[in-house]
Each structure stands twice: as structure tokens, then as C-alpha cells.
Amino acid sequence: MTSWKCSQCGYMLEADIPPDECPSCKKRCEFLDNTCYTPDCSADGIDKRIG
């Protein structure tokens, strides 16, 4: 499953596709894919360099 981060408030969620509206700030915003794809961040599965 993909990890997504709201570009407005930083809320993170796991879903196949991001929602149209952020569940936290209730705004239509861009969700950034912050899933870990490299071995250096595989422990927690989130790439902290994103966002």
C-alpha cells in the first residue's frame, strides 16, 4: 500500500490512491507519495525526505 502526505497540513495516510479531500484539513490538496523505495528508509516504510 502507498503512503501519502498532504501538501497542506502534512497529514499522512496509507491508501492505494489518495482521496480528493484531506481527512484532516478538509481541503482539496495535492498528496505526495512518500512511500519508501530505497533501502535506507525501509525500516519504517516512509521516505522522510518527501515534503
| Average pLDDT per consecutive 10 residues, the chain (51 residues; last block may be shorter) | 92 94 95 81 72 56
pTM over 0.85: no
Q: Record the cell numbers describing residue 18, joined without a space.
A: 489518495
Q: State residue 51's pLDDT score.
A: 56
Q: State residue 15's pLDDT score.
A: 95
Residue of 31, 29, 43 lying closest to 4 (CA atoms): 31
| Domains in the chain, CATH or no CATH each | 2-41 (2.20.28)
Q: State residue 12's pLDDT score.
A: 93
Q: State residue 18's pLDDT score.
A: 94
Measured from the Cβ of residue 4, the count of other Cβ atoms closer than 10 Å reads 23
Q: State residue 20's pLDDT score.
A: 93
Positions of E strands within the chain: 2-6, 12-15, 31-33
d(CA 36, CA 21): 23
d(CA 35, CA 23): 19
